[in-house]
């Protein structure tokens, strides 16, 4: 799948649909919620599906399975992604994200590389004269 959800990005209650195993559905949703920490592209679809954990139907399960098929088809290169947001008066002015050049073997190493990159950007910003910044 190229996208985590089909184009009408809505899920309805589907009270007439056939019920599915709640435990299995909740387990799948829990796994997806865990993944949203590193895969923000599935956040919206996962949160929509999580709304129906109390009474999931086959139509809801089909959407969850589509998200898993989307994840299966995603190319994973194990490179960490770091990003930044610039706010002005509480409003987002610009944002950026970048994959790191090196592959990290641990989360701590990824955070260290990201912190080093951030430090270099800040050092570069503060060493420029005011008329260049």
Exposure of 116 in the CB half-sphere (CA atoms within 13 A): 9
Domain ranges (residues) in the chain: 1-76, 79-127
Residue 82: its H or E element: strand 79-88
Query: 50-105 pLDDT, tens per residue?
Result: 999 999 999 999 999 999 998 887 766 666 666 777 888 878 788 777 776 766 56
Query: 17-35 pLDDT, tens per residue?
Result: 999 999 999 999 999 999 8
């Amino acid at each position: 799948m190229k996208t985590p959800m089909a184009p009408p990005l809505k899920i309805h209650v589907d009270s007439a649909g056939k019920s599915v195993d709640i435990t299995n559905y909740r387990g799948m949703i829990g796994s997806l919620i865990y993944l949203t920490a590193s895969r923000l592209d599935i956040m919206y679809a996962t949160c929509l599906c999580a709304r129906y954990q109390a009474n999931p139907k086959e139509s809801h399960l089909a959407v969850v399975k589509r998200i898993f098929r989307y994840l299966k088809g995603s190319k994973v290169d194990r490179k960490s992604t770091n990003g930044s947001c610039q706010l002005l008066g509480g409003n987002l002015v610009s944002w950026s994200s970048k994959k790191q050049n090196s592959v990290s073997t641990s989360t701590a190493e990824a955070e260290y590389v990201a912190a080093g990159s951030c430090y270099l950007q800040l050092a570069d910003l503060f060493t420029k004269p005011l008329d260049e910044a």
